[in-house]
Amino acid sequence: MAEKKQDRGTRKRFYDGYELAKYRKWRGFKDSWVDYVEWIKDRGVSGELIKSDPIRAFKAFTTYRWMAPYLASGAMVDRTLEDAEGVSLKIGHEFMRVILKSNVKALVKIIKADKRFGDNELADKMVLFEQITSPILIGGFPNLVHSVQEPYHTILPTANDQHGGYYFTDVIDSYGLPSDSCRVSSSICGVAIDDQLPIEGACIVTSNAPCDSSVMNSSVVARRLQIPAIEGCTPMRWRDESTNEYAVAHVKEIIKFIEDTTGEKFDWDAFFKVVERYNEETRIQLELWELAKTPYYPVPAVPNLLFRSFQLSFSSGLADEVVEVSREMLKLCEECYEKKINMRPKTRHRILVCGAPASYYMHFSTWMYECWGVNTVAVMNNLSHHEFISTTDKEEALLGVAKLWEQAIMRRHLVGGYQNMLEMFEEYERFNCDMIMYYDDITCKGSKSMTGIIQDTANERNIPLMWVSHDVIDPRTISRNEMRRQFNEFMFTVMNEKPLDESLLDFDDSKGW
């Protein structure tokens, strides 16, 4: 009997249908040891989720459906580092640990503040930020804590377990929302309607980022939470300077609202300190991007994507460890560049990835590299806000906050004019790419309505552009394997190439995490 493709190559260590490995990947003695030690450390970090308050944690796991997928976080980290070795592995682990630590901290905070499990003071000191709104303003309220809603209930659970989020889209579908509506926004409504939102927070800052559906889901969330809410709705035409005055006035209104609802006063000194850290995060990021333009950039694709998203949307200068780890990792990257060490030796193509990725297949870039040698060197979502915010002028600083919100992940490119979408072609040149992949979120109206122009522009410039469709958090609509099939088809027919690892061409992981 002929040997199945999956019986050899990278895929052979996995059970068919699952992401479950029969054994850990052998990376040579040193790398395997590093990987194993880091893996153990990660388990220790994850353990904090239980250790910090075992009773509340138990209650949270048994109350909230979105909690269970976090148990698979170890597998998620493994998936993102499948393609890493040497320095890349080290950097990948460090980046992922920052994310893991911060997520654990955030979840612990959510659990501890939840009034469903008993009254507590933390709940009334918590300011909720909806969607992907940067919580940077909370830096000016050192006595308050923040919690970013939505990602922890829908996107991150799906990233940990591909089956972790779509239950909530089913809930909202059965409530009457058409399933063509953006799944990211609708899933949080499902969480709200299913009464799966923690009961906490002194107030919430809702958001109009990134698109129409997020404008609309805000009212569902605000209505369910039944706490004072203010709309965080900065202008759409963010390049139009005539909108700045309104943007600043609105940020001021939000500060006043938080002051009024919590009784706290905005502390400019504390705020500027956080802004300084944000600026430092941005400065390091800009340097990393410079290195990413060369072949000697060692950061693995997925940690690169996730760390930057985390920094921009969740930290924004608030998480201490981000700057520290970023600095250390920058040093490692610079060493690689100086010594001309290519940590991505399988690279045949340098690809720019655009559009919102599928939460249920965050590690798609890992597969692209392993199977086809296609190295993700830049991600448009990562190239969102990257301006420095004033640390001296109050008005300028508030405008900076508004710009940060206006140019949040996805929002920077989706709204404010078609030119923002077409920025991808400039970035393509800047990062020395030779391919573009567009994550075609089938529910994203802002990008779907640009498909022709994007394709035409790519054709005019003779750029290989592929579309990979997905349904953000629902792998039942377009499975991971279907996404791979689309990619394979393009590589075979347009690029006329053969895979590096045939075992990865077509396999079933539909039942896996």
Question: By the criterion CB under 8 A, which residues form the site for another protein?
Answer: 172, 175-178, 180-182, 206, 208, 211-213, 215-220, 222-223, 229, 231, 233, 235-237, 240, 242-243, 245-246, 249-250, 253, 414-418, 442-443, 445-446, 448-453
Single-letter amino acid, residue 120: N
Residue pair 75/43 in contact (Cβ under 8 Å)? The answer is no
Among residues 18 and 418, whose Cβ is nearest to another protein? 418
Four-point Cα dihedral 305, 232, 160, 490, nearest 10:
-50
Residue pair 162/69 in contact (Cβ under 8 Å)? The answer is no
The minimum distance between CB 479 and another protein, in angstroms, equals: 19
Rounded Cα distance, 410 and 184, in Å: 12
Q: Which residues contact 271 (CB under 8 A, 6 or more apart)?
A: 137, 139, 140, 397
The minimum distance between CB 243 and another protein, in angstroms, equals: 5
Among residues 110 and 450, whose Cβ is nearest to another protein? 450
**Diameter of the chain measured on Cα atoms:** 74
The minimum distance between CB 440 and another protein, in angstroms, equals: 9
- Backbone phi, then psi, for 338, in 5-degree steps? -65, -40
Among residues 414 and 468, whose Cβ is nearest to another protein? 414
Among residues 102 and 206, whose Cβ is nearest to another protein? 206
Counting Cβ atoms within 10 Å, is residue 302 exposed (0-12), middle (13-18) or buried (19+)?
A: buried
The minimum distance between CB 247 and another protein, in angstroms, equals: 9
CA distances from 294 to 127, 176, 268, 381, 384 (A): 41, 49, 40, 20, 21
The minimum distance between CB 250 and another protein, in angstroms, equals: 7
Measured in whole angstroms, the distance separating CA 293 from the mean position of its chain's CA atoms is 22
Rounded Cα distance, 232 and 246, in Å: 12
CA distances from 208 to 140, 315, 432 (A): 22, 19, 34
Measured in whole angstroms, the distance separating CA 346 from the mean position of its chain's CA atoms is 25
Among residues 164 and 232, whose Cβ is nearest to another protein? 232
Rounded Cα distance, 271 and 398, in Å: 11
Among residues 107 and 421, whose Cβ is nearest to another protein? 421
The minimum distance between CB 204 and another protein, in angstroms, equals: 11
Number of neighbours of residue 327 by Cβ within 10 angstroms: 13
* Apex 461 CA angle, 455 and 465, nearest 5: 40
